[in-house]
Amino acid sequence: MTTKTIDDVQLAGKKVQVRVDFNVPMTPDLKVSDDKRIVESLPTITKIRSAGGAVILMSHLGRPKGKPTPEFSLRPVAQHLGTLLKTEVKFAEDCVGKAARAAVDALKPGDVLLLENLRFHAEEEKNDEAFARELASLGQVYVNDAFGTAHRAHASTEGVTRFLKPAVAGYLMRKEIDYLGRAVADPVRPYIAILGGAKISGKIDVIQNLMPKVDALVIGGGMAFTFFQAQGMEVGDSLVEQEKLALAKHLLEEAKAKRMRLILPVDCVVADRFENDAQRKVVPVTKIPSGWRGLDIGPETVKIINMELRKAKTIVWNGPMGVFEMSNFANGTMEVAKLLVEATHSGATTIVGGGDSAAAIAQAGYEKAVSHVSTGGGASLEFLEGKTLPGLAALDTK
């Protein structure tokens, strides 16, 4: 089955309700500080306007805990969007009720309206039926273009689709499905996944789902040390999830039994304390000194990853290789970002799976130099885990 998209429905003369992900960083004086997610929504908004529809945008921002909170108002986002579109973006003081209804009723074809923060109502996250029905009453077509919230069954992502049809994917949602879907279901080989991050517990399902599908799995970041200790190695004060040692051992045995290449670091950057200005040195992973902790992969590991990626046709990267937030331990993560760019230039499809990986590739300045950077951290992770995303499953299929 294929999810229907905005190209499959009639938009002319319709009021089109679009779930977007405008949960963007704000400055202390309430200005948008990073508009990537807003920019990503522009093709869908432009399509509706050019087709003669009126656009009703709805989103959440921050964690207002179910009540109106001034610092989480979407009004500044409406102003920023207006600047990007070079047109007035109208703003409704609420997402339901009289204010929302009056704003929607006044819309003409080509108009753009942003509703106030959905999470000013506790019913949004509870997927309350009455709230979802009231949201649905505002539009004639529903478009979900918020992949970053597709793993949540909320009123605006799942509940509304029970009362508002057609319910289809926007261009950003379609792009995410195309790239991540192919990587999971039908990758061009060799297919390599690079998984990092602090803890194995956050990536267990991804590892288990990808192991039968990839040609090689590269493990980096803090979770590598749980694998090392599971093999009986000394890791100093490095991060280890003691309760996951048996699982790590099982995964290593499973990879061996299936003759799948599970690649762990061979060297690492260690520090005598968890601070950027700590004393640091590069050591083999077999010689981590007592009292020191691994905070990044080392140069020999980068070379091994480079050799693997040179052969790859599909690469998925999710999770940093070290504590990239500290400049002295960011090199491994930045080098992997650079290797993905080189692989892209050589014809590989390269997918960066949201969250910290997306932040790292942006920090490196390579966002536009890889095939796809996912806008959804938790959503992309759950997609790679093979889970059904409620916001995606709720949409119409062909």
- Model pLDDT for residues 63-75, shown as the tens digit of each residue: 999 999 999 999 9
CATH code: domain of residue 286: 3.40.50.1260
Domain assignment present for 366: yes
Tell whether 212 and 323 lie within a shared domain.
Answer: yes
Residue where one domain finishes, among candidates 171, 197, 218: 171
Tell whether 131 and 222 lie within a shared domain.
Answer: no
Instruction: Specify which residues 318 forms β-bridges with.
Output: 195
Q: Identify the pLDDT of residue 193.
A: 93
Domain assignment present for 395: no
Least reliable range by pLDDT among 281-295, 301-315, 376-390 = 376-390
Tell whether 163 and 209 lie within a shared domain.
Answer: no
The answer on pLDDT for 180 being more than 90 is no
Which range of 167-171, 243-247, 367-371 scores highest in mean pLDDT? It is 167-171
Tell whether 166 and 185 lie within a shared domain.
Answer: no
Domain assignment present for 393: no
Report residue 1's pLDDT band, with 50, 70 and 90 as the boundaries.
low
Residue where one domain finishes, among candidates 118, 150, 171: 171
Q: Identify the pLDDT of residue 263.
A: 96
Domain assignment present for 394: no
Q: Identify the pLDDT of residue 203.
A: 85
Tell whether 61 and 202 lie within a shared domain.
Answer: no
The mean per-residue pLDDT over the stretch 239-253 comes to: 93
Q: What is the pTM of this model?
A: 0.87
Q: What is the pLDDT of residues 157-176, one digit of tens each?
A: 999 999 999 999 999 999 99
Domain assignment present for 87: yes
| Percent of the chain predicted with pLDDT > 90 | 83
Residue where one domain finishes, among candidates 171, 192, 221: 171
Tell whether 155 and 278 lie within a shared domain.
Answer: no
Tell whether 122 and 218 lie within a shared domain.
Answer: no
Tell whether 197 and 321 lie within a shared domain.
Answer: yes
The mean per-residue pLDDT over the stretch 240-266 comes to: 92
Q: Identify the pLDDT of residue 67.
A: 94
The residues annotated with a catalytic role in the active site are: 37, 199, 355, 378
**The 3-state secondary structure of the chain, one letter per residue:** CCECEHHHCCCCCCEEEEECCCCCCECCCCCECCCHHHHHHHHHHHHHHHCCCEEEEECCCCCCCCCCCHHHCCHHHHHHHHHHHCCCEEECCCCCHHHHHHHHHCCCCCCEEECCCHHHCCCCCCCCHHHHHHHHCCCCEEEECCHHHCCCCCCCCCHHHHCCCCEEECHHHHHHHHHHHHHHHCCCCCEEEEECCCCHHHCHHHHHHHCCCCCEEEECCCCHHHHHHHCCCCCCCCCCCHHHHHHHHHHHHHHHHCCCEEECCCEEEEECCCCCCCCEEEEEHHHCCCCCEEEEECHHHHHHHHHHHHHCCEEEEECCCCCCCCHHHCHHHHHHHHHHHHHHHCCCEEEECCHHHHHHHHHHCCHHHCCEECCCHHHHHHHHCCCCCHHHHCCCEC
State the residue range of the domain holding 323: 181-384
Q: What is the pLDDT of residues 201-233, one digit of tens each?
A: 888 888 888 888 899 999 999 999 999 999 999
The answer on pLDDT for 183 being more than 90 is no
> In angstroms, what CA-CA distances link 334 with 262, 312, 323, 346?
21, 19, 11, 19
275: CB partners within 8 A, 6+ apart: 326
The answer on pLDDT for 78 being more than 90 is yes
Tell whether 90 and 186 lie within a shared domain.
Answer: no
Q: Identify the pLDDT of residue 150.
A: 92
Domain assignment present for 81: yes
Domain assignment present for 290: yes
Q: Which residue has the higher pLDDT, 92 or 358?
A: 92
The mean per-residue pLDDT over the stretch 171-183 comes to: 89
Tell whether 193 and 166 lie within a shared domain.
Answer: no
The mean per-residue pLDDT over the stretch 249-263 comes to: 91
Domain assignment present for 392: no
The answer on pLDDT for 338 being more than 70 is yes
Tell whether 201 and 133 lie within a shared domain.
Answer: no
How many domains does the chain fold into? 2
Q: Identify the pLDDT of residue 377.
A: 76
What are the b/e assignments for 78-113, b being 16+ CB within 10 Å? bebbbeebeeebbbbebbbeeebeebbeebebebbb
Q: What is the pLDDT of residues 280-305, one digit of tens each?
A: 999 999 999 999 999 999 999 999 99
Tell whether 113 and 226 lie within a shared domain.
Answer: no
